[in-house]
Amino acid sequence: MKDQKMTNWRVSGGKGEPFFQAERDTMQVSNNVRYFAFTTEMVAIVPGDTNLSSDIFILDTSTRTTKRISVDKNGVQGNNTSSEVSISADGKYVVFTSRATNLAQTDINALSDIFLYSQTSNNIKQITNLSKKGFEAISGEITDNGS
């Protein structure tokens, strides 16, 4: 499903949640079409989204729930923009880039790093730390098996 030729997706997280358009390069779909991982600046997707930055979300079409995953281990929203989302074939893992400095204790500046989110453990992990050397991560891609 990652190579779909559609240019736009119309998405709603469930009853009462708004519809929005997401461009193909801001959304990825698991192979079983259960999970949609996407980035948007829209603040009405989940309650408490007040950071005025793009965030990463997972829509579970089976449970009809949408969850923001660009948050720290305590659920605090990222303090800067997150983007460039990629999802594993089974939807268990999502990789994305973020300039937020509060998603991981090891991130000490506002340069872009790559993060891995696990739906199984509900944890986020910084998987690059190029910024220590003055580099930024552009994007990450996750393989079908989550590596």
pTM of the model: 0.79
Q: Which region holds residue 89: left if phi is over 0, alpha if psi is between -120 and 50, else beta?
A: alpha
Residue 2 counted as domain residue: no
Measured from the Cβ of residue 120, the count of other Cβ atoms closer than 10 Å reads 8
Residue 143 counted as domain residue: no
* Contact call for residues 90 and 31 (beta carbons, < 8 A): yes
Q: Which domain holds residue 40?
A: 8-133
Residue 41 counted as domain residue: yes
Residue 144 counted as domain residue: no
The total of structural domains in the chain comes to: 1
Summarize pLDDT for 11-70 with one digit per residue, the tens. 554 555 555 555 545 788 899 989 999 988 887 788 888 888 889 999 998 998 889 999
Q: What is the tally of helices (H) and strands (E) in the chain?
A: 0, 10
* Contact call for residues 28 and 86 (beta carbons, < 8 A): yes
Residue 140 counted as domain residue: no
Residue 82: give its domain's CATH number. Answer: 2.40.128
- Pairing state between β 19-23 and 8-12: antiparallel
